Chain A
Amino acid sequence: MIDIEHLKHIYPGSRRQPARTAIHDLSMTVGDGSFCILSGPNGSGKSTLFRILCGLAAPSAGRVRVAGHDMATDAAEVRRIMGVVFQSPAVDKHLSVGENIALHASLYGIRGTELQERMADALSWTDLKDRLGDRVETLSGGLARQVELAKCLLTRPRVLLLDEPTTGLDPASRWSFLTVLRRVQRERGMTVLMTSHVFGEAEDADSVAIMRDGRLIAHDTPAGLRARVGQEVLVIQTRDAEALRPRLAETLGLAVGRYGDELRVDDLPPAEVPRIVEKALNAHRADIQSIAVKQPTLEDVFIHITGKRPAEAGAASDAGGADAKARREGAPA
C-alpha cells in the first residue's frame, strides 16, 4: 500500500550550515491493511520521512507510491485516500468540536446528511458525545486527541499516517486512543503507519520498522524482531559497567554488551540460564547491583539494534557481530 523506493533526502545547506542528509537510500513497503510502527532514536530521520509521506516535502531522490499513486506526480490523488494525524494539534482550538469536524469534512467534500451520519458514527467510539458544542481549548489533552482522530477517520482514509499521536497523553488516554485506532483499523482494513517512541504500543503492531541515522535498520514483525535478541536476555546493573564487562565476558564465556550502565547478554542458551546466573553471581557478587533474566521486549530489541554508536559497534567483538548481522538483514539491498 505504501511503497518507498530508494528514498533519499538532503536538507539544502546554507552559508552557516553544510547540507545534511536526513535519509539515505531507504526502501520499505507497508502492506495493504497492515499496522506498521515506525521507530528510531531522535534525529534518525523519522520526521523527515513522515513529511515526505504526507506530501509536505519532496525528496531529493527516490519514489514514494501510495496505493499505486506516485507522490511526486499524483499527490492530489493520494490526498484523497490519506488521513494524517500530526504530532502538534491540527485542530482549531477556537472552534467547537463539531465545527472542527464539520470543517475538516468539508475539505473532503463531505456535507449534509452524509456528514451527520459519519459524525454520529465517528463519535460513537469517542468520549466526545456530550462535548460537541464545546470549544476544543476547553478539552483535556486526551479528548483533544480524540477530536483529531475522529476528524481524520471521518473521511474514511485507506491509509492513515500518525506522527507520535500519543505524545503527552497519560497512560489511560494513550491506551484508549490506541485501542480505538486498532479496532477501527481492523474493521476497515485500513493501512496505518504510525511513528512512536513507546514500545508498549508496538507489541500489537503487524510490523515494526526501526530507523537510525537515516537508514532503515530493521523492519519485521514484533516476534521476528524479538527473535533477534534470542528467547531470553540477561540484564545486569552495576556501578562500573566498563570495568565489569570484560571480566564478566571472561567468566561466562559469552558476549557481553554494554548499554549505558547496563550490561546485557543477549540470546542466552535456554538450558543453561540458571547456571549462567549462578556463575555471574558467584564471581562478581560485589559488583552487581541487580541481575535479571527476561524475555526480550521490543524495547530490548530497540536497544540491541540502535543502542550503540557505530564506533562501539566495531569494538565490541561478538555483540558487534550480532548487531551488524541485524543491520544487514534489515538494511535495504
Chain B
Amino acid sequence: MMRFALSLARREFVRFIRQPQRVVGSIGQPLLFWAFLGAGLTPSFNPPGMEGMTYLEYFYPGVLMMLILFASIFSTITVIEDRDQGFLQGVLVAPVPRLSIVVGKVGGAAAIAMFQALILLIAAPFIGLMPGIGGSLMVVAALALTSLGFAGLGFSIAWTMKSTAGFHAIMMVFLFPLWLLSGALFPMNNVPAWLDFVMTINPVTHALNVVRGPFYEAPGALFSSGEWLTSLAVLLAWVVLVLWLSVKRVNKREMGAKPSAATA
C-alpha cells in the first residue's frame, strides 16, 4: 500500500521541482507578505501581554501557515485536471487501494509544503526565535501535521470540482479566511465576541497554536499545558477528518440512477 503511495508522492514532488515558477511563487508570496506587513505594522503593533515583540516576529508562524496553505492548495488543484482527463484516470483503473491514492497525493502535496516551510525555518534564528533540539523537532512535526491537514482539505474539495476556476473561488472565500482568522495576522486579544467564537472553532487557529508553542516554551511545559494539548487534539482530529473525507470521495464511483418503474 505504502509503496504505491510513495510512487505517487514522488511524482508530485518531481513535478513541483521541475516547475521553478511554482517554487518561486509559493515561497515568494509569503515572504513578501511577511517582509511588507512586518515592516509596516511593527511600529503600531503593541498588544497587551506581548510587549517587546515585533510584528515581524509575531507574524512569523502565521507566514509559515500561509506558505503551507498555498503550497498545499497549488498541489491539490492539479487533481481537478488529472481526474477527468489525465494521469489520475490511469491510476484509478490500476489495481491500487483507493487509500494509497489519497495518501500519495496528499502526502506528496504535504511534502512539497514541508520542503518550502523548512526553507523558511532558516529565518527563525534571525528574528530571535531559537527553540532547542526538542522544540525544533516539535515545530517540524507540527508543520507536517498542518501540511497534511491543508493538503487533505484541498484534496477533498478539489476532488468534486469540475474546474480550477471554481476552486479558486473556494480558496478566496473559504480557505484564505480560515488562515486570516487563525490569529496569524492579529492576536485574539480583545476581538469582538463573534470573531472570538469564529477563531476558536477554526481548526487553523489551533494548528497555529501548536506551531507557535515550541518557539516560546519548552516541550515539557507544552505537554502539561491543557490549552496546547487541546489545540493538538483539534489539529489531529482535523487531519484524520479530512483524510477520511478524501478516501470517502475517492471511493465514490459515478453511479447510474436507479431505473424507476416508468422507465424500466
List the one stretch of B24-32, B47-55, B91-99, B133-141 in contact with chain A.
Answer: B91-99
Indicate if the CB atoms of A106 and B256 lie closer than 8 Å: no
Confirm or deny: B122 has a beta carbon within 8 angstroms of a beta carbon on chain A.
no
Contacts of B253 in A (CB 8 A): 55-58
Q: Which residues of A contact B85 (CB under 8 A)?
A: 86, 88-89
Q: A55-B93, A80-B95, A103-B11 are in contact. Are A90 and B257 (CB under 8 A)?
A: no
* Closest partner residue, chain A, to B254 (CB atom): A57
A contact residues around B166 at 8 Å (CB) = none
B202 to chain A, nearest CB (A): 33
Which of B15, B95, B253, B256 is packed against the most chain A CB atoms within 10 Å?
B256
Give the shortest distance, in Å, between B121 (CB) and chain A (any CB): 27
- A56 touching B94 in the complex, CB below 8 Å, given contacts A61-B259, A88-B89: no
Q: Are A58 and B259 interface neighbours, CB within 8 A?
A: no
> What CA separation (Å) do A279 and B109 show in the bound complex?
74
Pick the residue among A90, A103, A108, A151 that contacts B86 (CB under 8 A).
A90
Q: Which of A92-100, A223-231, A323-331 contacts B (4 or more CB under 8 A)?
A: A92-100
**Whole-angstrom distance between the alpha carbons of A19 and B259 in the complex?**
10
User: In A39-94, which residues have CB < 8 Å from any B CB?
Assistant: 51, 54-61, 76, 79-80, 82, 84, 86, 88-92, 94
Partner among A12, A19, A80, A107 whose Cβ is within 8 Å of the Cβ of B91: A107
| A95→B90 contact, CB < 8 A | no
Q: Is the CB of A107 within 8 A of B259?
A: no
Q: What B residues does A84 contact at CB under 8 A?
A: 89-90, 93
Q: Which stretch of A3-11, A28-36, A175-183 is in the interface?
A: A3-11
Which of B7, B93, B255 is A79 in contact with, Cβ under 8 Å? B93
Residues of A within 8 A of B15 (CB): 92, 94-95
Q: Using known A-B contacts A9-B256, A58-B256, A60-B257, determine if residue A86 contacts B95 with beta carbons closer than 8 Å.
A: no
A103 contact from B7, B19, B254, B257, Cβ within 8 A: B7
Which residue of chain B lies nearest to A88 when distances are taken between CB atoms in the complex? B85
A221 interface residue (CB < 8 Å to B): no
Q: In whole angstroms, how far apart are the Cα atoms of A203 and B60 in the complex?
A: 68
Considering only CB atoms, which chain B residue lies closest to A106 in the complex? Answer: B7
A21 on the interface (CB 8 Å rule)? yes
A88-B85, A95-B14, A107-B96 given; A60·B90 CB < 8 A: no
Known: A103-B11, A106-B3, A107-B7. Is A86-B89 also a contact (CB below 8 A)?
A: yes
Q: Tell me, yes or no, whether A274 is within 8 Å of chain B by CB.
A: no
A51 CB contacts on chain B under 8 angstroms: 254
Q: Does A13 contact B (CB under 8 A)?
A: yes
Contact in complex: B257, A10 (CB < 8 Å): yes
Output the nearest chain B residue to A20 by Cβ-Cβ distance.
B257
List of A residues within 8 angstroms of B11 by Cβ: 92, 95, 99, 103
Please state if B89 and A94 are interface contacts (CB–CB under 8 Å): no
- Rounded to whole Å, the gap between the CB of A153 and the closest CB of chain B is 13
Number of interface residues of B (CB under 8 A): 31
- Bound together, the chains give a CA A105 to CA B263 distance in angstroms of 43
Instruction: Report A46 CB to chain B, min CB distance, Å.
Output: 16
Complex contacts, B88 vs chain A, CB 8 Å: 90
**B104 — nearest CB in chain A belongs to which residue?**
A107
CB distance from B210 to the nearest CB of A (A): 34
CB-CB contacts below 8 Å: A134-181 with B: 151
Contact A8 B7 (CB under 8 A): no
With beta carbons under 8 angstroms apart, the residue of B4, B96, B257 that contacts A11 is B257
**Which of B3, B86, B95 touches A89 (beta carbons < 8 Å)?**
B86
Whether a CB of chain B sits under 8 angstroms from the CB of A197 is no
Which residue of A57, A80, A88, A108 is within 8 Å of B256 (Cβ)? A57
Question: Within the complex, what minimum Cβ distance (angstroms) separates B245 from chain A?
Answer: 20
Contact of B4 among A76, A86, A90, A106 (CB under 8 A): A106
Known: A90-B90, A94-B19, A103-B11. A108 touches B95 (CB 8 A): yes
What string of 1s and 0s marks CB contacts (under 8 Å) between B230-251 and chain A? 0000000000000000000000
Contact of B90 among A9, A11, A58, A104 (CB under 8 A): A104
Residues of chain B lying within 8 A (CB to CB) of residue A92? 11, 15, 86-87
Tell me which of B3, B84, B94, B264 has the highest count of chain A C-beta atoms within 10 A of its own C-beta: B94
Let me know if A91 and B95 touch, CB within 8 A.
Answer: no
Question: In whole Å, how far is A72's beta carbon from the nearest beta carbon of chain B?
Answer: 10
- Taking a contact as CB atoms under 8 Å apart, the answer to whether B95 and A76 are in contact is yes
Kindly list chain A residues whose C-beta atoms are within 8 Å of the C-beta of B91.
107
Distance to closest chain A CB from B22 (angstroms): 11
Task: Find B263's partner among A21, A55, A59, A89 (CB 8 Å cutoff).
Answer: A21
Within 8 A of B (CB), among A100-130: 103-104, 106-109
Known A90-B87, A95-B15; contact A13-B257, beta-carbon cutoff 8 A? yes
CB under 8 Å from chain A, chain B span 14-70: 14-15, 18-19
6 intermolecular pairs with C-beta atoms under 8 Å apart = A11-B257, A12-B257, A21-B263, A88-B85, A90-B86, A103-B11
Rank and list the top 7 A-B pairs by shortest CB-CB distance, nearest first: A60-B256, A88-B85, A90-B90, A12-B257, A79-B95, A107-B94, A57-B254
Q: In the complex, given contacts A19-B257, A88-B86, A90-B88, what are 11 additional A-B residue pairs having Cβ atoms less than 8 angstroms apart? A: A10-B258, A11-B256, A57-B256, A58-B256, A76-B95, A84-B93, A86-B89, A88-B84, A90-B87, A90-B89, A106-B3
